[in-house]
Amino acid sequence: MVAKPSAYMGRIVKGGAFGDEKLESHNIRDAILKVTGLVVSSSSWTGIPDYFRFMIALTDTDFVNALNALLKFRDSVFS
């Protein structure tokens, strides 16, 4: 699955987990990794500018853990 995280662009991760740098397509992958430990493939992998690849062919447990990591990231940006 590929997705463009446009709702996150220009926002700052709260709590200092990623500093005061605004999220942009060139750094959101690193922010997700630093805040949650979740690895997503960047647009250089997808070949589609500003879109990221999320692996969904996982065990149920890994999929739930990945979803929880994305919720953690969402909460660190929008809370």
Render pLDDT for 25-62 as a digit per residue (tens, 0 to 9): 899 999 999 999 999 888 888 889 999 988 778 899 99
How big is the CA angle at 78 (ends 61 and 9), to the nearest 5 degrees? 95
Domain membership of residue 11 as a residue range? 2-78
Q: How many domains does the chain have?
A: 1
Phi, psi at 22, each rounded to 5°: -70, 145
Phi, psi at 32, each rounded to 5°: -60, -45
| Percentage, residues of the chain above pLDDT 90 | 59
Looking at the DSSP bridge assignments, the partners of residue 19 are 17
Tokens standing for 1?
Answer: 């699955």
- Are 11 and 23 a contacting pair, CB within 8 Å? yes
With CA atoms as reference, report the closest residue to 28 among 6, 47, 46.
6
Q: pTM (2 decimals)?
A: 0.85
